Amino acid sequence: MSWKIEYTTAADSDLSTLDGSQRKQVLAAIKKVSENPFPKNEGGMGNPLGNKHGANLTGYCKIKLLKLGLRVVYEVLLIDNIMKIIVIAIRGDDEVYRLAAKRMGK
């Protein structure tokens, strides 16, 4: 199954702030995970999220880019087979998860 990758306006802005090397690595990771964006506990490649420091991100997934210290938070939209990127940010003190919750109105 082919998944379409979409970015929120904010996530697109996040991507534009990365340097060329970081951007290339993030895009490669997103493309790889988009082959099967479901959570690992459902046989996919995404890391499922739950409650993170008061932010309920149940149903969303993350991609960890350990060497860069970055996280990509996304949701899988079964209708239209879309992998929607919500936030691309440094993990620092789990700020990425608070930012994701804020962007999703949670």
| Rounded CA separation 5/51 (Å) | 25
pTM value is 0.91
Helix runs in 9-105, H state only: 9-17, 20-33, 95-103
Domains, the chain, in order of start with CATH, read: 4-103 (3.30.2310.20)
> From first to last of its 106 residues, what are the pLDDT tens digits of the chain?
679 999 999 999 999 999 999 999 999 999 999 999 999 999 999 999 988 667 789 899 999 998 989 999 999 999 899 999 999 998 776 778 888 888 887 6
CB 45 within 8 A of CB 37: yes
Beta bridge partners of residue 46, listed in sequence order: 39
Distances (CA, A) of 91 to 4, 43, 62, 83: 25, 25, 11, 20
The CA radius of gyration of the chain, in Å to the nearest whole number, is 13
